[in-house]
Structure 1
Amino acid sequence: MASAGSVVNQAARDLTVQAPPVVPAMESVPAVAGASRIETTTGVFVGRSAELARLDSAVSGAGGRAVVVAVHGLGGVGKSTLAARFAESRGDRFSFVWWVTADSSAAIATGLADLAVAIAPEAAVLPAEQRVELGVRWLATHDGWLLVLDNLTTPSDAAGLLERVRTGTVVITSRQGTGWGGIPTVAVDVLTAEQAVDLLDRLVRAEWPDADLSGAEALCAELGFLPLAVEQAAAYLVQDRIDPTAYLDLLGRFPARVFTAAREGGDARRTMARVWHVTLDRLADTPLAGDLLRVVAWWAPNGIPRDFLSGLGEEPDVHEASRRLAAYSMITLTRTEVSVHRLVQAVTRTEDPADPHRRPEDVAAARDTAATILSDCVTDLDPRSPADWPRYHQVLPHARALFGHTTPDTDTPHTAHLLAQLGHYLDNRGDPAAAVTHHARAAQSFERLYGPDHPETLTCRGNLAGAYRATGDPGRGIPLLEANAADRERVLGPDHPSTLTARNNLAYAYEAAGDLRRAIPLLEAVLADGVRVLGADHVDVLPVRGNLGNAYRAAGDPGRAVPLYEANLAAAERALGPDHMVTLTSRNNLALAYEALGDLDRAIPLHEAVLADRERLLGPDHPDTLTSRNNLAFAHHVAGDSDRAIRLLGAVLADRERVLGPDHPHALDTRNNLACVYQLTGDLQRAIPLHEEVLAARERVQGPDHPHTSAARDNLAHAYQLGGAPGRAIRLHKTILADRERALGPDHPDTLTTRHNLAVAHLATGDPDRAVPMLKAVVADRERVLGPDHFDTLASRTSLANALRDTGGGRQVWIGQRRTR
């Protein structure tokens, strides 16, 4: 007869009684020496001294009480490695150390069941549920132990365990950075640049001692100093025997394969792509989270204004998606900004048909949405208005990131519009080289989207030509403008307003290139056609008339310019009103023409009126307002009040440097003007250092071949000459002449000016045998190119006459004291 509770099995006529398994009394079972389980690591640990110290402090601060600490951060940042290092290096503090993979409830249960068996091997025969209970009971009735719950999904997954276990030490690692209540936390960020390089070096050289790790710094920077990415890269380098530069190349050309490449024989789940896939799986109940992450993946990793995201959905939905992504450390939120690890971005925008979070159609849609959001941010802004510049400044780094991650064949109309708008902004901020890049891609994209004859395409070509002009290379834009004018005439007809505008822009480019022989006849023809087709007061006729006046003034004939400016001003006031920007520009041009004629009694009051209107309408810091202050200051110098001019120019310089930056071309213009006034008043001790500063800045910012750089050299050369160093002046003039002949050609007005000034410098050294033939040649060429009555021609004639009369002892006329604005 079997006793109660026994199991009876009957075979034939024999009876066997099997005793029930013994349930150990876990309360009285001590920790077993050598039974601890700690996660194995790569064996390489770098940095993290601060994080270890914080973790140590949190654990030690419990004063013998039970303590729970959560270590959180982005997947792959090294949370588990930190916890393992803590367990290994501080293990002698604890009677027992146990590591549990805690990424699911089932995994936690398995880890606790295994703990029970490690403590009491006889429990191995018990059902799993009973083993879990025994593991919890042992923890609850002992102290001095360390339990690591690695990769916990949410705090709630461990809530039941922590409610029952009030002793010992629990270290949790998790991607979730919020929701821990009163549990102390230790945040883990990426490595420093030096630590990341050190980690890569040690991992690679452990298996490949003589590896060439040139380019390790660039590789680690591209990986964002993320430990998992560095480890993945190190394994790739070792197995394929390639250097960091080759890995970077592969990453650029085959990102999808590199992001998922695991070490041979390694854990395929421990790759960049897989780690973050798991996180997004956990966010599947918040679909907007994936959409948001895919959009921000196309922008710069830091400084994303949160209001950029407002159009992605209803405000509560956007807040929830942002909050949950931040909770899982996929993004970082501040009150005003979002940041994302650059490698999270790179993986997120890499298409993978097998990954539901990176389907090609979703990635492409996010790219286009990212472009649309940025385009909408600048649609209603004025790129010339400093009041709007802060918003442009916010958008620019994210637009540049978007453009860098995409190719023109994927540009949408919103992308092309964004490129064009930023091109205008960069031009106004004094970065014409960057403006060229943006306008060129905008023109290319509009042509692909709408065709070569579409108005948007033609307008962008004109913008590109204008940007070339701003870089000091107007000749490069002239073929574009010639093609534009021909295309508009072919498509729209010769009398269409857009055709007239294109011809006006072409003539303006000719003028900027110094080709007045083509500029003036073309402007005269366009003006006649514009008046015939549109009427004398039409707004599209005003810029043509103004440009013709500018061309006459550049040709040394301000007397012909004045009637045009006066007519323009009257027409602008009738058609647009006294406060319109075109009206103010017309007044400004008229004041300059009066000044060029020496009529300061009319010029200065008009400059003052324009300045007052611009301050009232645009504000004191607008570029046009600062230009008016600059012009007024120089007019006072021309009128003989140099002290006042110097005070005003100093104030304008300070404001231009504050508003635009010290290297902006307009700030350099004012610094140049101030140096010229010092020079003309005989204060060479101030003038020469300032000229040298301007030249150095021009060469650095605008390049050695820019016309304004050449003008700065001219001004410095003349200052050297006045300062008693004609030899230095001659050497500089020779350099300028070679540069201008190469860049502009022998007949350009600036080239002729340099030849004149070089001859005058030779006269100053007492060498008329060289100077007189040079002046004769300059006079002949200026008469041919500029005409006999141009003031530059007259100046060369005067210098030649004085040289012939005085053999170098008479007064010579130096030309080229460039008054830039």
Structure 2
Amino acid sequence: MSDAMDGRADGHGRVYQASGDQHIIEHHHHGDASPAAWASTESVRQPTGGRAPVVLRDRTELMERLRAAVASDAFHQIYVLHGMGGCGKTAVARAVFQFASTEGSRVGLWVNAADRTTLRSGMLAVAADRGATEGELLAARNGLRASADLVWERLDRSAEPWLLVLDNADDPASLRDGSWLRTSPRGTVLVTTRQAAPRWWPHAELHHVGVLPRDAAAQVLYDLAPETGTMDEAAEIADRLGRLPLALTLAGGFLSHQVIDPWTMTRYGSHLAGHEPVDLIDRGANALTDSGSRHLVSQTWQLSLEALAAQGFPESTVLLRLMACYGADPLPLTLLNSPELNDVLPRSRAETALRGLLDQSLTTLVDVGVRCVQTHGVLLASVAVGTPHGQATKSARTAARLLDAGVPAIPEPGPQDLRLRLLSPHVLALLRHATDVSVVTEALDVAVRLAIALHRTGDYLSAWELASDAAAVAQPVLGAEHRLVLSSYARAGRALFRLGRYEESEALHRRVLLDRERLFGPDDPDTLDSYEGTSDPLFELSRVSEGLALLRHAAMGRQRVLGPTHPLTLGARALLLSRVPPSELAAEVDSTALPLPQECALELGPDHTVTLQARLNYANALNRLGRFEAAIEDARLVVEEYQRRYGPDFPMTLSAQTLYASIRAALGDVNLAVELMATVVDTRERILGAQHPFTAFSRRRLDEFRAKADHQSPDGQP
């Protein structure tokens, strides 16, 4: 949004504040100066995707094949389970996961691969589980190193053999685009997907998972509700439900939890409407489609909700319809503990409503590092289709307000919050479901703020994906010229810049700038934000005069429109300190009676992000002017502050330390400069690798200091 703040630093200690999102520039490559390491990594040691079946029926031959694969020392294998939604692919994967983790003596690693952001986050959590450091994870999240390479490097070096499950990989392009799917000498990969085309799985062993045979389907239902009928009656219901495991699980959950007025299987069967399921089975199991599975599932959840209402829990229906506005990914429970829930459901009844859904097997609790509720995608799609229009609109409005309450109005730099990352697929799901303009508008506003929040943790890839996807989904409803659509594209442009994709960033920023100038005028805060955003890639593309003109336009416009003490105005002035040429730098530094860092501290407070950035930029400006004595103390204090806030491995800490070392060397304390730079080199080599440009730059600077030290006399004199 237009009140965001950005900041960055280069390898010479050059740092600047644009709109509160920090990053590093070195050698025309970008890293992170976001204020967080990977502070909240999700759990990958337990499966998600619903509760495990009581007993996994049928699948005997498939399970024997997969058990043998994980029981042996054979690695370098990929197995793909494919089939329609609700057919039990995840249940098979859970059974294999459990076997591998116990009898197979392997580490089980489970990743939800439903979308790009969830996949990458889960895979980086795998890297963390296999020993990746916070610095390495931070570098991967902000594009300083290839995320997939880090993950597979750690998997290949794992001390223990492993089984990696990639669940819900229904968009195989996400796996291919990031090179996420590989083989390893230390483990086995198991994928579940609806996509069976061999072109997606060229090196994998494919296994189809379909509906169950009649006897096995009947046994599933009987396992769940043995007191409610006979095996023959269970078989009849199984036929009516297409022998689809998900539908059978929902039916069994219903039958096993009726206490006040227990149902028999015969009674349940009499309430199943229509004959289409039988017709589908008559045509053969392979004829059953995802739309057919939704139809089968709809019969089960409708009966379950009717029973809950009869027992005095009509709120369960309301809650399930609300949850159908979101996606099938884990949904943080904190989202449902908000006053905004009162719009459709008394908050005091939320616990009871959720308990009813859990008892009926309509949803399940999962813990991925944050306690969540998760509902099968086929069930959600079926509920969404079956919700009357008026109720669907009301549910969508509440869903948007709950997300709005869960995302900060002005995201601040800070540690990664896993709860925020978990909201990304649900914001996009709501945007795809919603048709009401007001709902789409509110959801897009949330998406923009969430992209800013992700950006400020240094997760630039996730920020770019969310912002660009949200804009593309909302544009057909709101129009290409809507302010929020343009804001979303502007956020995508900033993320592209952080990822070093300067040409793409400049083109996107330029397009947004032209639209904002035309629609809102040159002094609109969003237009001023675009002037600054467009200037960033121009400097990196060596179009310095053009970039400087835009940056000055932004700084002067903000001072005129927002006032001289607004954080964005002060941030733009700090940014100018790093961008003006040396011939103009003295005038910029000496243009006010009060130095910029002191002015920022007075107006914003000494701990404000803009103040810290201004102190570092100002110290570097003094360094560039040769005023080393004036710069040294601020440079030292800034290094200490970055270390205190973000730790010694944080990229901005290393950039600040590089500046401090340079000033020390200029003042003749070369031995300390060598010591400081040696630490920087060692840290960057460990995090980024020996060949990374940041590492190479730091090593050259270290060599310069060492050469200078070699020419000094023992008393420190040349």
Length-normalised TM-score, structure 2: 0.52
What fraction of aligned residue pairs are identical, expressed as a percent?
22
Partner of 2:414: 385
Given the alignment of the two structures, is residue 319 of structure 1 paired with residue 347 of structure 2, yes or no?
Answer: no
Conservation of the 8 A alpha-carbon contact between 1:150 and 1:174:
no
Q: Distance in 2 between matches of 1:491 and 1:236?
A: 58
Report matched runs for 1:266-305 at 5 Å.
271-285=296-310, 286-301=313-328, 303-305=330-332
Matched-pair contact (CA < 8 Å) for 1:501–1:540: no
What is the CA-CA distance between 1:471 and the residue it aligns to?
A: 2.8
Alignment of 1:546-625 (within 5 A): 546-553=574-581, 562-563=589-590, 567-614=595-642
In the alignment, which residue of structure 1 is the partner of 2:460?
Answer: 432
The CA deviation at 1:322 is 1.5
Aligned to 2:545: 517
Residues 62-141 of structure 1: pairs in structure 2 closer than 5 A? 81=215, 99=231, 101=233
Instruction: Give the AA of the match of 2:467.
Output: H
Residues 373-382 or 569-578, more deviating: 569-578
What residue in structure 1 maps to residue 334 of structure 2? Answer: 307
What does residue 225 of structure 2 align with? none
- The 1:344/1:671 distance shift into structure 2, 3 A limit, reads farther
Cα distance in 1, alignment partners of residues 531 and 408 from structure 2: 28
Where do 1:611-760 residues align within 5 Å? 611-614=639-642, 628-629=656-657, 631-632=659-660, 640-641=670-671, 642-646=673-677, 648-649=679-680, 671=695, 674-677=698-701
1:151-201 deviations in whole A, cap 9, x for unaligned? Answer: 84546589999xxxxxxxxxx9999xxxxxxxxxxxxxxxxxxxxxxxxxx
Q: Write the letter of the residue equivalent to 1:515.
A: R
Q: Is the 8 A contact 1:102 1:153 kept in 2?
A: no
Partners in 2 of 1:87 and 1:398 — Cα distance?
32
Residues of 2 paired with 1:284 and 1:405: CA distance?
26
CA contact (8 A) 1:103 1:151 kept: no
Q: 1-side partners of 2:510 and 2:217: how far apart?
A: 69
Which residue of 544, 563, 570 corresponds with 1:542?
570
Q: Report the equivalent of 2:405.
A: 376
Is the 2:632–2:664 Cα contact (8 Å) retained in structure 1? Answer: yes
Contact 1:102–1:151 under 8 Å retained in 2: no
Q: Which has the larger radius of gyration?
A: 1
CA contact (8 A) 1:294 1:366 kept: yes
8 Å Cα contact 1:493-1:499 kept in structure 2: yes
Structure with the larger RCO, 1 or 2 (CA within 8 Å, 6+ apart): 2
CA contact (8 A) 2:688 2:695 kept: no
In 1, Cα distance between equivalents of 2:58 and 2:524: 76
Q: Is the 8 A contact 1:649 1:670 kept in 2?
A: no
Greater mean deviation of Cα atoms: 149-158 or 505-514: 149-158
Instruction: Return closer, same or farther for 1:364/1:680 CA change in 2, 3 Å cut-off.
Output: farther
**8 Å Cα contact 2:253/2:361 also seen in 1:** no
Q: CA deviation at 1:307?
A: 2.4
Cα distance, 1:101–1:523 mapped onto 2, change above 3 Å: closer
Tell me the CA shift for residue 385 of structure 1: 1.0
What is the alpha-carbon distance in structure 1 between the residues aligned to residue 391 and residue 692 of structure 2?
48
Structure 2 alignment gaps of length 5 or more: 1-56, 68-90, 92-209, 223-228, 237-251, 269-275, 708-718
Is the CA contact (8 Å cut-off) linking 2:463 and 2:495 kept in structure 1?
Answer: yes
The CA distance in 1 between the partners of 2:604 and 2:644, in whole Å, is 17
Counterpart residue number, 1:468? 496
Q: Does 2:376 correspond to 1:341? A: yes
Label 1:100 to 1:678 Cα distance change in 2 as closer, same or farther (>3 A).
same
RMSD: 5.3
Shift in alpha-carbon separation, 1:551–1:87, aligned structure 2, 3 A? closer
Indicate if the aligned counterparts of 2:365 and 2:372 stay in contact, CA closer than 8 A: yes
For the 8 Å contact 2:493–2:505, the answer to whether it is kept is yes
Output the CA distance in 1 between the equivalents of 2:220 and 2:476: 59
Residue 375 of structure 1 contacts residue 418 of structure 1 at CA under 8 Å; is this kept in 2? yes
* Partners of 2:396 and 2:439 within 8 A in 1: no
**Matched AA of 2:442:** H
| Deviations 1:338-387 (CA, angstroms, capped at 9, x unpaired) | 232333223223x14xxxxx33443454344334322321134635211x
Using the alignment, how far apart are the partners of 1:287 and 1:318 within structure 2? 11
Correspondence for 2:360: 328
Shift of 1:318: 1.4
Alignment partners' CA distance in 2, 1:541 and 1:508: 16
Q: CA deviation at 1:415?
A: 1.3
Residues 277 and 315 of structure 1: CA distance in aligned 2, closer, same or farther (over 3 Å)? same
Change (3 A) 1:550 1:156: closer
Give the distance between the partners of 2:279 and 2:589, measured in 1 at CA: 73
Instruction: Give the conservation status (yes or no) of the 8 Å contact 1:152–1:174.
Output: no
Counterpart of 2:337 in 1: which secondary structure?
A: helix
State how far apart, in whole Å, the 2-side matches of 1:374 and 1:447 are. Answer: 20
Distance in 1 (CA, whole Å) between partners of 2:436 and 2:490 is 19
Q: Aligned equivalents of 1:448 and 1:669: distance in 2?
A: 41
Q: Match of 1:548, SS?
A: helix
Q: Which one is further off, 340-349 or 587-596?
A: 340-349
1:289–1:321: 8 Å Cα contact kept in structure 2? Answer: yes
TM-score, structure 1 as length reference:
0.46
Distance 1:557 1:365, change over 3 A: same
Residue type matched to 2:496 in 1? Y
CA distance in 2, matches of 1:591, 1:543: 15
Code of the residue aligned with 2:443 in structure 1: it is: T
Unaligned ranges ≥5, structure 1:
1-41, 52-75, 89-96, 105-148, 162-171, 176-228, 241-246, 261-270, 353-357, 684-821
State the Cα deviation string for residues 308-360 of structure 1 (Å, max 9, x = none).
222433344212122122212222236943232333223223x14xxxxx334
Give CA-to-partner distance per residue, 1:615-657, whole Å, 9 cap, x none.
6678889876565456445655776345422454268659xx9
Cα-to-partner distance string for 1:429-480 (whole Å, 9 max, x where unaligned) = 4443442332234556776777766654554443233223223233334355
Secondary structure of 1:338's counterpart equals strand
Q: Please give the alpha-carbon distance, in whole angstroms, between the structure 2 residues aligned to 1:86 and 1:463.
A: 49
**Which amino acid counterpart does residue 395 of structure 1 have in structure 2?**
L
Residues 494-518 of structure 1: CA distance to partner in whole angstroms, max 9, x if unpaired?
A: 5555554443443344223321121
Q: Deviations over 1:294-319 (max 9, x none)?
A: 33334454543322222433344212
Q: What amino acid does structure 2 have at the position aligned with 1:344? A: L
Q: Partners of 1:47 and 1:306 in 2: how far apart?
A: 35
SS of corresponding position for 1:382: coil
Would you say how many aligned residue pairs link Structure 1 and Structure 2?
466
What is the letter of the counterpart of residue 307 of structure 1? T
Aligned amino acid, residue 326 of structure 1: L
CA gap 1:663/1:77 in 2 versus in 1, 3 angstroms:
farther
Structure 1 residues 513 and 404: CA distance shift in structure 2, 3 A: farther
